[in-house]
Structure 1
Amino acid sequence: MENYGFLSILPIIIAVAMAIKTKNVILSLFSSVFIGVLILLNYNPVITTKTLMTDYFVKQLTDSYNAGVIVLMLFIGGFIELMMRSGGAYAFAQSVGKLINSKTKAQLAAYLAGIIIFFSDLGTPLIVGPIFAPFFKKLKVSKEKLAFILDSTSSPIAVLVPFIGWGVFIIGLLQKEFELLNLNISDYEAFIKSIPFNIYPILALIIVPALALLKLDFGPMKKAEENIDKDIEVEIKEKKEYIVENAKPIYVWLPILILLVTLFGMLGYDFMFKRFSGSEFRAALSSGYLYAAIALALMMLINKSKSFEEIFTIYLTGITKMTQIAIILILAWSLGTVNKNLGSANYIVNFMKSIDLASGFIPAIAFILGCIISFATGSSWGTYSIMIPIVIPMAFTLNAPLYITIGAILSGGLFGDHCSPISDTTILASAGSGCSHIEHVRTQIFYAIINGILSFIGFLVGGFFQNYIILLICIIVQLTLLIIIKIKQKN
């Protein structure tokens, strides 16, 4: 392979720098891929443009695995939009709300509702927020606390589930890197094995019920809870498209049950742990989403919630919304190929060897870089599309622990997103709760930083000692810290 020296990492630098500066992931990825191909073709812009289209973009689209991932994403997009617009999620959350009569129950109910509506990270704040806001107001729980719960049950749960949009997107990125590295590793299996090392989202999910059960608040959130009576009331506008006449809670649980039964039926009862080929997994999952959508559509027609024309239009709208995700995937796959052709991983490895940096530090470094990019761009998906093609080859070449490195990338992208004032989920959590956006960021960041520090320490240790006990230790330390804070507040 020709040695391009420092130029081999120029596309990587451009991708990261432009993402931070422009906050536009598609533009950043396209620019980095274009510069990379330009270097490979001796700086001829005309030939570069032609080659970019034929040997990179079209090639990525015509690859059977890549095409299967994109088709699956379209099925997922159609189902999610149909589910959200069916009114079922709203009806389901309302039924949960009937049991609320205390501050702790209000927080736990909102938390559980957010987890149950796991299929859409952006839908959780807009559905759960307006439903639970009146209960929080009545029981004198702050809007900031509701926003925190909404933000903690959207992306954190979505990034842990392999059979929804987030998981499929990440698995698709991993598969491309494994293919380029000629690794005999199942992308699906790698995602599953990385879940116990996806420390930050798990800590984010645990801290919510822990705070509620301990009746604990600290930092700016404590002040928000103490000043709730002084707050100026903000009207929360419910998303009208999520409220549908004759909608029933069964619209949520039955299609999801059909989806899971299809997966169990086509892949077997141990589908979460057994190794499957990518084509098997995609076929089963695509079938599951198709059957789930058909069942939901039939229920909507029988109950006269929507007409056939409305249902079909909603489904197509959901498919259309996945176009941007498909573009990001194609560009990310192309960036991985460009990096391989330039020998980027080898250059980075040689550089790291020259400064005598142990491979065990790779997960911690990946976590920090993920935090920075995600915080600056406000996008976890964009961060993954940039980081995975860069870090996975480096981790493999340096013999760094693979699964904890994947967990570090995903955790870093989520931590930065949680702290970022320009994150879409952060903005929607504020909107869904009727909370001031700045106040939501200010009150949530203390909790996020605690989880972020624990995650960083976990990845720092895990890089040298890859064991699932690291997650358990992080959880124990987190809960211990909360108990200590609670005891100090009492004294």
Structure 2
Amino acid sequence: MQKNNNSIALFILILGLCAAVYVHHSVKPVWLEQSYVYDTYTTDAGQLAYKYKGKEVLIGELVPYRDSALNQANLDKSNQAPPMSQQWVRDENKQIKLLKPAFHYSLWSLLPALITIALCLLTREPLTALFSGIVTGALILGQYDLIDKVIIPTIATEGTAALLVLYLWLLGGLLGIWSKTGAAQAFALFMTRHFVKGQRSAKLVSWFLGVLFFQGGTMSTVLVGTTVRPLADKAKVSHEEMSYIVDSTASPIASVLAFNAWPAYVQALIFIPGVSFLATEADRIAFFFASIPFSFYGILAVTGTLLLSLNITRFSGARIRQARHRALTTGQLDADDAQPLSAKELQSSDVPQGYRPHVLEFVLPLTTLIGIAVITFITLGSPKVNWAFGVALLLSAFIALGKGMSLTDLIDGFGNGLKGVVLASMILMLAVTIGSLSKEIGGGLYLVSQLGESLPFWCLPVLLQLITMLIAFSTGTSWGTYAIAFPLALPLAWAVAQSQGLANPELFMMVCFATVLNGSVYGDQCSPISDTTILSAMTTGCDLMDHVKSQLVPATLAASLAAVLWTLTVFFFA
């Protein structure tokens, strides 16, 4: 079956590459006027200027709007690319605007995203699927030098470099040192001795750890799964329940307690020039946090796992209820026909001989990490995630060295941590690249031109939710979905808000932002090809498809309730 899928995927890829070459040579781009309004002021020298990323930018010569080569009327007359990349104009109402031309290739603009989704659905491998989407997008633009002209310029940006440093060095290094010192296992042992008395307390501890490790993704899944499995197995908690609790707190909680790497990554994808509350990186991070109350799916998903931990199972579906009944009556943690995934390599300890782990080696760095993130958010307006992870990493290292661990063992642990997140970092790099290409090719502009004027505004949040659920389920990655969806979704949301004259466009944008964020989390969480789904089953010892099928009902219920809440919010308050 998989061999047939690979053959179909190869055929689709070849067809997509041929189509991309055809688009570049035969399809004329549709040019559109894009106007941006900034808060301008007059300098002491009498020149017009505006602030961009905290720096003063002078405005050049102003021309009347009707004379600009970049207004829509003149763009429609021309069959060629505009003669300039931007121009400042003054319109009939004396308002100063910056005009920039943008283009799309109609439905062809969505080709890179469609190729990526199709290949990931068929091959179940996001790395090659994302790279194939990048190649397709590059061919549409006529860029044949992928390394020097496409990938390196994306990586060289400040935001992407900071993201890779955070995720690869700081996060990976911290995980590696915790593995070497046995800090997480010591914390689990402490919790087992003092708090776990039976099934309910075992599940509550698991839920608490899922909330505590709110960094999201594979890190939370591996840490929580490996830490709670021994205590859960001892308390006879079914593996279906445990895998659901681990999976449904890993990413959903990261979208709610967002003092982690998520805002730093997402903010780079939601810049819309001319929208004042998304103008700077600090503005976009503040927008992320202001949108958290609308993360209804994340809130409901985490609440659902809490209810399950309290043995309230009416909402959780027949499979989880049957699993709980089986474990209670027979002590059997898996179904009769289950094939649990082995996770020995994730449970093994790498502590050097003679080193004695202590619970404070985990608690102190984690408390420091959370404290720095929260304090910098309160005092500076945005959490300094790099500072938080950097200090936590150094503190863990100094504690280990102070307790007698050799520098060689410490560096070995740090290196193992880096190895563990290399693949994830590669996926992030490619995800950012395809997001940039998708934006340049104009997929978002095309959707705006098709839907911006006619779509009822109250339908858009649920539409975005369904689209991102489908993409994330097909690709198995929420962050990859963000790279595809955000450059399309937020310009569309802004166009709808402006064209339909909404009284509160910022609230409408927050809700649409939350639907993309949460819809992607749902699709990733429920996808059988998602790394977090597989790791949740692997670390808890559950059969993969038993885990997927058992969590589908409560996750879908939470997503359905969230859809109703999003619709009601924009209908009555936007």
- Asked if these proteins are the same fold (TM beyond 0.5), I'd say yes
Change (3 A) 1:317 1:242: closer
After superposition, give the CA deviation of every residue in 1:230-277 in whole Å (9 maximum; x if it has no partner). 365679857113667511111122112333444466x36345xx3x5x
User: Structure 1 length as normaliser, TM-score?
Assistant: 0.80
After superposition, give the CA deviation of every residue in 1:195-237 in whole Å (9 maximum; x if it has no partner). 1222212111111222333643551111112222436567985
After superposition, give the CA deviation of every residue in 1:137-187 in whole Å (9 maximum; x if it has no partner). 55443222222222222222233343423443333433xx44698841522
Report matched runs for 1:268-347 at 5 Å.
269-271=378-380, 274=381, 276=382, 284-304=384-404, 306-347=405-446
AA at the equivalent of 1:158? A
Question: Structure 1: how far apart are the matches of 2:440 and 2:486?
Answer: 16
Question: Structure 1: how far apart are the matches of 2:452 and 2:333?
Answer: 58
Corresponding residue for residue 440 of structure 1: 547
Alignment of 1:61 with 2:155, yes or no, is: yes
Contact (CA 8 Å) 2:493, 2:509: kept in 1 or not?
yes
Contact (CA 8 Å) 1:221, 1:443: kept in 2 or not?
yes
After superposition, give the CA deviation of every residue in 1:330-350 in whole Å (9 maximum; x if it has no partner). 444443443444333232122
Corresponding residue for residue 470 of structure 1: none
Match of 1:151 among 244, 247, 257: 247
Corresponding residue for residue 224 of structure 1: 323
Question: Structure 2: how far apart are the matches of 1:133 and 1:327?
Answer: 29
Q: CA deviation at 1:58?
A: 2.4
Corresponding residue for residue 486 of structure 1: none
AA at the equivalent of 1:376? S
Question: Structure 2: how far apart are the matches of 1:226 and 1:53?
Answer: 55
Corresponding residue for residue 287 of structure 2: 190
Question: Structure 2: how far apart are the matches of 1:160 and 1:289?
Answer: 19
Question: Structure 2: how far apart are the matches of 1:131 and 1:264?
Answer: 25
Corresponding residue for residue 475 of structure 1: none
After superposition, give the CA deviation of every residue in 1:346-396 in whole Å (9 maximum; x if it has no partner). 321221257x22233222112111211222222222222222222223223
Match of 2:171 among 62, 76, 80: 76
Larger Rg: 2
Q: CA deviation at 1:312?
A: 1.5
Contact (CA 8 Å) 2:121, 2:475: kept in 1 or not?
yes
Match of 1:451 among 558, 567, 571: 558
Match of 2:188 among 90, 93, 110: 93
Greater RCO (CA < 8 Å, at least 6 residues apart) = 1
AA at the equivalent of 2:511? I
Alignment of 1:113 with 2:221, yes or no, is: no
Contact (CA 8 Å) 1:127, 1:242: kept in 2 or not?
no
Corresponding residue for residue 35 of structure 1: 136
Change (3 A) 1:233 1:346: closer
The DSSP-based 3-state class of the residue aligned with 2:358 is: coil
After superposition, give the CA deviation of every residue in 1:104-146 in whole Å (9 maximum; x if it has no partner). 2222122112222334643445454455445545544322222
Q: CA deviation at 1:23?
A: 3.2
Question: Structure 2: how far apart are the matches of 1:140 and 1:53?
Answer: 52
Corresponding residue for residue 484 of structure 2: 386
Most deviating of 336-345 and 129-138: 129-138
The DSSP-based 3-state class of the residue aligned with 1:464 is: helix
Contact (CA 8 Å) 1:127, 1:239: kept in 2 or not?
no
Match of 1:255 among 362, 365, 381: 365
Higher strand share: 2
Contact (CA 8 Å) 2:452, 2:492: kept in 1 or not?
no
Please tell me the root mean square deviation across aligned C-alpha atoms, in Å.
3.1
Structure 2 residue runs without a partner (length 5+) = 1-30, 32-102, 335-341, 498-504
Q: CA deviation at 1:454?
A: 0.9
Change (3 A) 1:61 1:264: same
Corresponding residue for residue 468 of structure 2: 370
Corresponding residue for residue 239 of structure 1: 347
AA at the equivalent of 2:458? G
After superposition, give the CA deviation of every residue in 1:281-300 in whole Å (9 maximum; x if it has no partner). 5xx43233222211111111
Corresponding residue for residue 478 of structure 1: none
Question: Structure 1: how far apart are the matches of 2:300 and 2:433?
Answer: 33
The DSSP-based 3-state class of the residue aligned with 2:356 is: coil
AA at the equivalent of 1:269? I
Match of 1:212 among 309, 327, 330: 309
Change (3 A) 1:429 1:53: closer
Q: CA deviation at 1:402?
A: 1.8
User: Structure 2 length as normaliser, TM-score?
Assistant: 0.69
Alignment of 1:361 with 2:455, yes or no, is: no
Higher helix share: 1
Question: Structure 1: how far apart are the matches of 2:180 and 2:396?
Answer: 11
